[in-house]
Structure 1
Amino acid sequence: MICGASNEATLEQGGGVETSKILNITYAPDITVTSPIYSQNDAIRTVTCDPSGNPDSYIYHKWQHKSKYGDIIREFGGNKTLKLPDVQVRLRYQDSGEYVCTASNGIKNTFNKLEQTGSGLVSVNAQPVFTSDTIDRVKQFGEINKAVAIYVNVYSVPKFTNVVWTRDGIPIPTQNSAKYQLSSSSSIVQDKIHGKEVQLDGYNVTLTIHDLEANDFANYTVTLKSGFPDVKFITVLESASVPDIPGNFSQRDSAFTSFTVQWDPGSGGGYKQTFYIQYRVQGSSKWTSVSSGEEDINEQRRRRTYEVSNLQEGKAYELRMYAENKAMKRSNFTDVLIAFTTSSASTTSSVVIGAVVGVVVTLVIVCTSCIVILLIKRSQGKDQKEKNDKCYVNTGFQNIQNGDEYEEVENKFELTKVETVSGVKGSTVQLECPYKTPQGKRILWSRKTNPAIQYIDGTNINPDLPAELKFRLTVTGDHTAGYYHLSISDVRESDGGPYECFVSGTSGSVTTLQLTIITLKEDINMRFKMAIPS
């Protein structure tokens, strides 16, 4: 800097006076990062940090290698020139990305920051790469008579110049074809760069096949061409079937805050399948889903059970389930099952039922004694009318006297068994059918009214029943072993009466179960009227 001064005296003498001073202005550096465009064939690859500040003596801090989307891939020690570590030729494309240099000269910038940063892009031209989000697509799935899109994700700088698809080694004609359609589009892909999964700008390469036929399920190879060696990827197109709906979905038992359900797995469509149960309190709108187990394709099929826990006490729940296989195909839902958690009142009622059972056993003993007395009197030549007047027991047969001989006349069925079942109002009662279902037959349940009302056919609940009743019925029992029982939840006084179970298509045995409903507010008074012979 120069400063000068003059007056009239110095002007007359043709001059003036001046002095100079050198100013040293310091400032923080601006940083630029430079690098040439490399090829995968270049073994030496460097990145240069160029700071510009005053003073021009710098301290270099760490380098960072980032993806375009800001993910930190790796870090290096600080110096002006970064020499990238050498890797295999096919992996050198991974050096592409943003490189950030940090340096300082002891001067803070306007933001009071001492260390300054600058960045630049490094590009390595290389052969196309099938990215890590494609490696898992060695198997892809389609369905007969539908279209399928077989695709791969690719990172390619520069972009590939040509795509060729083959099926079992035979080129696929994609031009002007109604069956095959080839496409490629820009896409964000995911790849593992120097050991870290990051997002990259890449491409989606797709072969669409319309109206799949059986011979379309084959091996497909895509070949990408560029100025570098060709790259190939093989994928197998397999048929994907929807899994079967789980069968015989029913409640097995219950507790205060849980219940156990059971089902029979069906076909997984040729793939490993996972079972899911959804449940909600009856009347609510939101379903809760839980994974309830898996079945592999080579696993022996068996009945499955699962305990649904952390529920509310004494509540009715709606449940449904479905299966989903590895091909991401999902079955339809089962019918909605109504299940109940146990309430404290149910526990109290169990004690009451125990007392009732004791009374019933006592009465059976009394009744048996009556029969023995009758037989003794008959053997002693007592009058038949006297015996009939004093005691009568319905055995399911009608005895007709013919002299000293008796002719047995069969009823409609060979044998009718009558049992009594008691249930406390509001609890769940299970009516057990003792018959094992023969091959090709079904257990039928009906209520003995006039006319009879069919409740159950196999595992199917009569859809014509009132909704209030239908939702309270469940087919329980070990279905695999051929046993089908009728479970009635939230029993009411109107549910009382006789029920029948028998095997379809036969004239064999019938079991009649007399359901008696007990209310806790009433005295338990079971009366049996019979004549005791004298």
Structure 2
Amino acid sequence: MKILSGKREEIVYSFILTKKENMQSIVCSAYSRFLDNPLSFEVQLDIQYSPVVEITRRPTELKLILICNPSGNPANYTLGDWEHWSEFREHIQNLEGTPDGTLTFLKSFNRLHETDGIYKCKASNGIYGTNGHLYQIGTALVYNKVPPIFVIANKPIKFGCYGQKMNLTVLLYNKYGTIQTTISKLSEPLYTETRQAMIKTQDISHDVNVTVSGIKRTFQLTLDKTEDFTDYTKKACNEMGCNELTVKITCANCPEPPTNVSVIPFDRNLAVSWCPGYNGGFPQTFSVEYQAENEEIWKLSGPVIDNREIRMSKILYDITPNTRYYVRICGLNYTDITFNEAPTMQDAVIHGSVDRTIYSEIDFMADPVAPLSSSESECDENDEDDILFMHM
């Protein structure tokens, strides 16, 4: 650009600043035939920008050390708390590091897998980033070399039926190498069909329930002897070692129908009694349901807890004289079954993942007559409601 003699002009140089230009120099020079040497002016660029945050890992024999490394201008940083997240981005905990950005874990071999996950370090130098945030975040995914872990989602007791096959499933967490699994019954190894699948499951990390990627191993067992209902030990190993889990298999069957059902009618109540059947291996309760002949709704009375007495009883109130009633006794042995009332009805609706309901049903006239009893019964195996009709 030429400037005429005796004139004053400004020379403007425009460019977009980037981090690469930081601490570089820009020189402006003027040349004239009247000057022995050109005139020049040098400016060193000091470009300020928010930090880029990286996390480095430094493992030792006894410790795991994470280091937060921010890089920005100016180079004086304020560090926030570390954050620990699961691999599926569920928050686990906040951790306080040292002022220089170091986070240290002592290696407790039994719980080292709980330190797995995503770690976030926050740093600021007072300059807002292009994302509009004052604090910039660096992340690192950490996995430790530990033996396979049986996650908390495994249940210590499984239920099977005598004379049938069952699938015994275990859930494992493993992030290092391949695993080998074995199963034994009373210390004797079993050789059975095994299947494997990759799944998402639940485990506990620092007292927080989180989602983890896991391995499901399924062993097929045949329960055809009484001795098969016992403890089974699963062992899982990788290059770092082994862990074991013992599961107890318990016989789970439907309760047997109540027997020797009898009813004694009074003026406005009924005395119902019965002998409990075998509870199928679970604590059971009974409910007495009754229905007037001219009604469509069953009324529910109970529950009555099985107290292991030879004979049990229940009084039914608000009975209309000279009315024919149907009475049935329901035995339940599944703890997750509950009774709910539909909004416009009074009948009992049984909910549960397994139907272990056995009914004994009789009908009678609510007149003061001799006690009714029954010792014979028949059951239609195809009746999906499992109703056992007692013939009087």
TM-score of Structure 1 vs Structure 2, range by shorter chain? 0.5 to 0.7
Confirm whether residue 29 of structure 1 aligns to residue 47 of structure 2. no
Distance 1:260 1:214 in 2: 42
Question: Match of 1:454?
Answer: none
Q: 1:105: Cα distance to partner?
A: 1.0
Correspondence for 1:164 among 182, 189, 207 = 182
Distance 1:130 1:196 in 2: 16
Is the contact made by 2:271 and 2:316 (CA closer than 8 Å) also made in structure 1?
A: yes
Question: Match of 1:508?
Answer: none
Any stretches of 5+ residues in structure 2 without a counterpart? 1-24, 318-324, 337-352, 378-388
Question: Match of 1:230?
Answer: 242
Question: Match of 1:419?
Answer: none
Distance 1:29 1:252, change over 3 A: farther
Counterparts of residues 369-448 of structure 1 (less than 5 Å) = 430-433=366-369, 435-436=370-371
Deviation per residue, 1:306-342 (Å, 9 max, x gap): 999xxxxxxx99999551336975323537999xxxx
Correspondence for 1:97 among 105, 117, 123 = 117
- Normalised TM-score (structure 2): 0.67
Confirm whether residue 153 of structure 1 aligns to residue 153 of structure 2. no
Question: Match of 1:273?
Answer: 284
Question: Match of 1:515?
Answer: none
Is the contact made by 2:148 and 2:173 (CA closer than 8 Å) also made in structure 1?
A: yes
Distance 1:19 1:188, change over 3 A: same
- Give the structure with the higher percent helix: 1
Q: Which amino acid is 1:30 matched to?
A: V
Distance 2:87 2:262 in 1: 52
SS at match of 1:98: strand
Q: 1:120: Cα distance to partner?
A: 0.8
Question: Match of 1:73?
Answer: 92
Distance 1:122 1:68 in 2: 9
Distance 1:250 1:440, change over 3 A: closer
- Give the structure with the higher percent strand: 2
Correspondence for 2:136 among 113, 116, 120 = 116
SS at match of 1:48: strand
Deviation per residue, 1:333-364 (Å, 9 max, x gap): 537999xxxxxxxxxxxxxxxxxxxxxxxxxx
Is the contact made by 2:54 and 2:70 (CA closer than 8 Å) also made in structure 1?
A: yes
SS at match of 1:201: strand
Distance 2:70 2:247 in 1: 50
Correspondence for 2:220 among 205, 208, 212 = 208
Q: Which amino acid is 1:432 matched to?
A: P
Higher alpha-carbon Rg: 1
Question: Match of 1:131?
Answer: 151
Q: Which amino acid is 2:246 matched to?
A: I
Is the contact made by 1:164 and 1:223 (CA closer than 8 Å) also made in structure 2?
A: yes
Deviation per residue, 1:40-91 (Å, 9 max, x gap): xx32111111112221110111111121122322222244433334363222
Is the contact made by 1:100 and 1:119 (CA closer than 8 Å) also made in structure 2?
A: yes
Question: Match of 1:323?
Answer: 332
Distance 1:82 1:276 in 2: 63
User: Number of residue pairs matched?
Assistant: 328
Aligned Cα root-mean-square deviation (Å): 4.5
Deviation per residue, 1:455-508 (Å, 9 max, x gap): xxxx8478xxxxxxxxxxxxxxxxxxxxxxxxxxxxxxxxxxxxxxxxxxxxxx
Q: Which amino acid is 2:112 matched to?
A: R
Q: 1:246: Cα distance to partner?
A: 5.7
Question: Match of 2:19?
Answer: none
Q: Which amino acid is 1:28 matched to?
A: S
- Normalised TM-score (structure 1): 0.51
Counterparts of residues 170-185 of structure 1 (less than 5 Å) = 170-173=188-191, 180-185=192-197
Is the contact made by 1:321 and 1:333 (CA closer than 8 Å) also made in structure 2?
A: yes
Deviation per residue, 1:231-282 (Å, 9 max, x gap): 22222323221123567699999x9xxx9997755322022235579999x7
Question: Match of 1:47?
Answer: 66
Distance 1:290 1:108, change over 3 A: farther
Distance 2:49 2:264 in 1: 79
Confirm whether residue 334 of structure 1 aligns to residue 359 of structure 2. yes
Q: Which amino acid is 2:333 matched to?
A: E
Confirm whether residue 84 of structure 1 aligns to residue 110 of structure 2. no
Percent identity over paired residues: 19
Correspondence for 1:219 among 226, 231, 236 = 231
Q: 1:222: Cα distance to partner?
A: 1.6
Distance 2:316 2:117 in 1: 52
SS at match of 2:277: coil
Is the contact made by 2:163 and 2:223 (CA closer than 8 Å) also made in structure 1?
A: yes
Distance 1:87 1:252, change over 3 A: farther
Question: Match of 1:59?
Answer: 78
Counterparts of residues 216-295 of structure 1 (less than 5 Å) = 216-245=228-257, 264=274, 265-274=276-285, 292=303, 294-295=305-306
Question: Match of 2:26?
Answer: 2
Q: Which amino acid is 2:231 matched to?
A: N
Is the contact made by 2:149 and 2:173 (CA closer than 8 Å) also made in structure 1?
A: yes
Question: Match of 1:425?
Answer: none
Deviation per residue, 1:11-57 (Å, 9 max, x gap): 68686433222332222222222225x58xx3211111111222111
Any stretches of 5+ residues in structure 1 without a counterpart? 174-179, 309-315, 339-428, 443-458, 463-534
Q: Which amino acid is 1:171 matched to?
A: P
